[in-house]
Structure 1
Amino acid sequence: MERIVQLETEIAELRKNLHEKENELYELKKNCVVQPAPQETFHFESNLQYGQSNGGCNAEIGDKLPRWAIERYSRQILLPSLGVAGQARLCAARVLVVGAGGLGCPAASYLAGAGVGHIGLVDYDTVDVTNIHRQLLHGEADQGAGKVHSAARAIHRINSHVTVTPHDVQLSSGNALEVISRYDLVLDCSDNVPTRYLLNDACVLLKVPLISGSALKMEGQLTIYNYRAEKNDNEKDASYCGPCYRCLFPSPPPPEMVGSCSANGVCGPVPGAIGTLQALEAIKLVVGFPHGQLLVGRMLIFDGEDATFRIVKLRPRDPNCAACSENPKITQLLDYETFCRSKAKEKDLDLKILEPQNRITATRLASKLKENLETSEQRHLLVDVRSEPEFHMCRIEGAVNYPIDSLDKKQEFDKLLEAIRSCTSQVTFICRRGNDSQLVAQRVLHAIDKEQCGRITDLTGGLHAWAKLVDQEFPIY
């Protein structure tokens, strides 16, 4: 054990040194690159309209793009729908990416590649080894570093002409308006419901379009909220307004119905595909595509299982929407964690729905299992409700698997009840963090006889608590 700790310490030090050397090499290479002459410097105008070239980004000046910009962006300037004027608007655009994770990394990469002049990154989290399979702006040497700083360094390696502003904060009602007001549009690459409502309401108040993406397991979704045709000179009907998030989802879902990548898993290319398409929609919006060619009032749904894309039509803007109607009820930002009954910062829920007598700590469970081995008593029944792949990945010895999703079928739930009734010892439900196990235990408590309820418990804190308090060699994922 001592040798393991020593090696881990040495490896961490080597990674730190490698990271410093990479930064030194990057700075040396950057200084060797010929930068544009002062007279060629590209000046960007703020308050950019979607389809309008204003200030230093009009067609006349755009026709005189500096040599480096023509050479660098020539492949997209060749597109008739983009052209020199479109490239000028991209160079003038200010785009905020909220979340430097699975969606934010590919989105920011392609925005930088396209030459978006100013990219803001918002994230409070640090790089973890479980991120790297899908968050490809981060590497092994970035573990423990702030995601926005790791991503900013990677973006500068892609395009040194882009300005990147890292916001190493948790976006909240207290700072959202101040941060978002600096940008022309926002990409929602977050992973929780409170932040989605926060971003929607802030963008409505500031009249900023919101490109919203999500990805979980093998599925992804993408749409644009809060679009205003009045900002796009290419629109025929300047009065058109797209729906906002609240038009479609006026009330948040129950916390236990919301999944997360850390709890449910995600295949890396899925957020990669959705994040890339978020960048595409952002580019199209900036250069002035009309709403009929954007994902406004429509939602793209991607199913990675069978590699299919489909588009569903969304309800139009709600004239009575609490946020974006002519007479809105929401005129300032709220406490969104209270509104959604869930945390914006925690990656996993921490449900507390069972009575204390129906919960058992990891250390107490370990003692009981040891007692069973030392006596002739029937062994404690351990019911692991995680998915089958998780169960085969790691488990407590002797546990049996009844995946929570399979228990929706009456036949499978009846099998579980039969196993419980035939057990004369304690029954403990187990999952990764102690949330799904409570849901199943609660359902069982409602289904069995009252005199048997005292035998039913769930493992408080789940397998994470087991790994921390009982078996330090048990993998945490």
Structure 2
Amino acid sequence: MDLINHLEQEIAELKDTLQHKEQELFEIKQKLLPTKQSNIENGGDDQYSGNSTKVHFGDALPKWAIERYSRQILLPDIGVQGQERLMAARVLIVGAGGLGCPASVYLAGAGVGEIGIVDYDQVDVTNIHRQILHCEKDQNLSKAQSAANSLRSINSKIKITPYDFDLNPSNALEVAGKYDLILDCTDNVPTRYMLSDVSVLAKVPLISGSALKMEGQLTIYGYRDKRNVEEQSYIGPCYRCIFSTPPPPEAVGSCSANGVAGPVPGVIGALQALEAIKLIVGQTRTHLLVEKMLLFDGDDSTFRTVKLRPRNPLCEICSESPKITKLLDYEVLCKSQAKEKDLDLHILPSENRISAKDLAKSLNAKERHLLVDVRSESEFNMCNIDGAVNYPLEKLHKKQFDELLARIRECTSYVTFICRRGNDSQVAAKRVLDQIEDKHRSRVKDLSGGLHAWATDIDADFPVY
């Protein structure tokens, strides 16, 4: 273990040195770039200074940019002026995960002048199947730093700024104020409300994407256009215009709890980048996802676009007389967490809980237990404790619940509820305790800490996911 720890520390130090050297190289290139550019603008670089024929480039595009970005400059919708706008643009990407990775890859490739990427989390092996900027060697490295390192290897001509901290109401406006456009690549409701409010207060458009299971969606909030030919100016709806009140926490899923097919956030993230490019180069709202939401169904590989409500004239934040004039506590507003972290519920008395070590001792002593695993069927099929039976919490209603109660009444052994982290198992056990007769109550337990505790304390080979 000492050798492993030593090597891990040495690798971390080398990564840190490499990061500083890459930043130093970028700064040197940036200092040299104006000299090369002015040389070109004067008729060509030094190599061809003796050529008597004057060569004309784009108004502000150096030779290297024309060569590098030629395939998109050829598009009439982008052209030279569009490329100039891309190279002058500043885009903030919030979330270096399944959406943020593909979005940032294409924006870096397109030559967006400055990309800020925010993520408080570290790279985990469970991320890699969909978060394409991170590799196995990046595990335990800051996601923002890992993404920045990969993006710099894609395009050394642009500025990449990693923010490896939590974006919250105390710092969001300061960070967002440095950028022209925000991409919401997060996966939780509190941050969606916060970024929408930031978009309104900072007057910066927000391209919002989401992906879960086999589905994804995408739209633009807070769009502003003073050049609209039909109207003097136009402002699109914000997130609050469409969703005035947050959904109940139990109705919101997450990738860690519900799963996601890797290509689904890849599709939505790539489309976020496309909408960003279109917006930056000056496409009008009729060609953008303004007042429209794109829905992707990966099950049958179909797209459809639904019309959204226009801006609400009575919206609490984006109306002419807003009630909200500063950022709020969004976890309180949404009654849910902004960070995806393990809950630690305590809804059962201690006499109805059992530790992983005590459960293992009981099983080794041949004490009988009815092990009720309340995870989903797919999770149960991935891994389970030998002898456990599967009663998914999401299906534990009416007939299924009555069947379980009957089974508990008939058995004479302990009844131990199991889930991944020891939270859903408490919920299930509490339902049973509220319904079952007193004589059975002392036999009903829940595995404290769930299968994560089992893997930590009993079986190191048990998968942690």
> Could you state the TM-score of these two structures normalised by the residue count of structure 1?
0.85
- Superposition pairs for residues 325-404 of structure 1, below 5 Å? 325-371=319-365, 373=366, 379-404=368-393
Cα distance in 1, alignment partners of residues 60 and 153 from structure 2: 26
Residue 40 of structure 1 is matched in structure 2 by 37
1:356 to 1:209, Cα distance in 2 relative to 1, 3 A: farther
Cα distance in 1, alignment partners of residues 321 and 358 from structure 2: 57
Aligned 8 A contact 1:90 1:117 in 2 = yes
Cα distance in 2, alignment partners of residues 41 and 471 from structure 1: 65
Residue 55 of structure 1 is matched in structure 2 by none
Residue 161 of structure 2 is matched in structure 1 by 165
Report the more deviating stretch, 453-462 or 64-73. Answer: 453-462
Cα distance in 2, alignment partners of residues 339 and 312 from structure 1: 27
Cα distance in 1, alignment partners of residues 433 and 247 from structure 2: 25
Gap regions ≥5 residues in structure 1: 43-59
Aligned 8 A contact 1:36 1:68 in 2 = no
Identity of aligned residues (%): 62
Q: CA deviation at 1:101?
A: 1.0
1:347 to 1:41, Cα distance in 2 relative to 1, 3 A: farther
Letter of the aligned partner of 1:404 in structure 2?
A: L
2:145 maps to 1:156: no
Cα distance in 1, alignment partners of residues 114 and 20 from structure 2: 24
Which deviations, in whole Å up to 9, do the C-alpha atoms of 1:247-274 show, x marking residues without a partner? 1222222223322112221111111111
Residue 68 of structure 2 is matched in structure 1 by 72
| Counterpart secondary structure, 2:261 | coil
Gap regions ≥5 residues in structure 2: 40-55
| Counterpart secondary structure, 1:70 | helix
Cα distance in 2, alignment partners of residues 418 and 217 from structure 1: 34
2:285 maps to 1:291: yes
Letter of the aligned partner of 1:275 in structure 2?
A: G
CA RMSD, 1 decimal: 3.0
1:26 to 1:202, Cα distance in 2 relative to 1, 3 A: closer
- Superposition pairs for residues 134-213 of structure 1, below 5 Å? 134-213=130-209
Letter of the aligned partner of 1:248 in structure 2?
A: I
Residue 46 of structure 1 is matched in structure 2 by none
Q: CA deviation at 1:106?
A: 0.5
2:262 maps to 1:265: no
Which deviations, in whole Å up to 9, do the C-alpha atoms of 1:356-414 show, x marking residues without a partner? 4443333333333344x0x5xxx211111212222122111211112233335x44333
Which deviations, in whole Å up to 9, do the C-alpha atoms of 1:220-239 show, x marking residues without a partner? 11111111222xx2553243
Aligned residues: 448
1:330 to 1:387, Cα distance in 2 relative to 1, 3 A: same
Letter of the aligned partner of 1:414 in structure 2?
A: D
| Counterpart secondary structure, 1:116 | coil
Q: CA deviation at 1:163?
A: 0.5
Cα distance in 1, alignment partners of residues 316 and 413 from structure 2: 54
Residue 407 of structure 1 is matched in structure 2 by 396
Residue 417 of structure 2 is matched in structure 1 by 429
Cα distance in 1, alignment partners of residues 435 and 317 from structure 2: 43
Residue 449 of structure 2 is matched in structure 1 by 461
Report the more deviating stretch, 183-192 or 344-353. Answer: 344-353
| Counterpart secondary structure, 2:235 | coil
Residue 309 of structure 2 is matched in structure 1 by 315
Aligned 8 A contact 2:29 2:157 in 1 = no
Aligned 8 A contact 2:60 2:84 in 1 = no
Residue 252 of structure 1 is matched in structure 2 by 246
Cα distance in 2, alignment partners of residues 347 and 464 from structure 1: 13
Q: CA deviation at 1:19?
A: 5.6
Letter of the aligned partner of 2:294 in structure 1?
A: L
Q: CA deviation at 1:340?
A: 1.9
Cα distance in 2, alignment partners of residues 151 and 224 from structure 1: 24
Aligned 8 A contact 2:292 2:305 in 1 = yes
Q: CA deviation at 1:62?
A: 4.5
| Counterpart secondary structure, 2:234 | coil
Cα distance in 1, alignment partners of residues 370 and 324 from structure 2: 51
1:133 to 1:272, Cα distance in 2 relative to 1, 3 A: same
> Could you state the TM-score of these two structures normalised by the residue count of structure 2?
0.87
Aligned 8 A contact 1:297 1:316 in 2 = yes
Aligned 8 A contact 1:383 1:402 in 2 = yes
Residue 216 of structure 1 is matched in structure 2 by 212
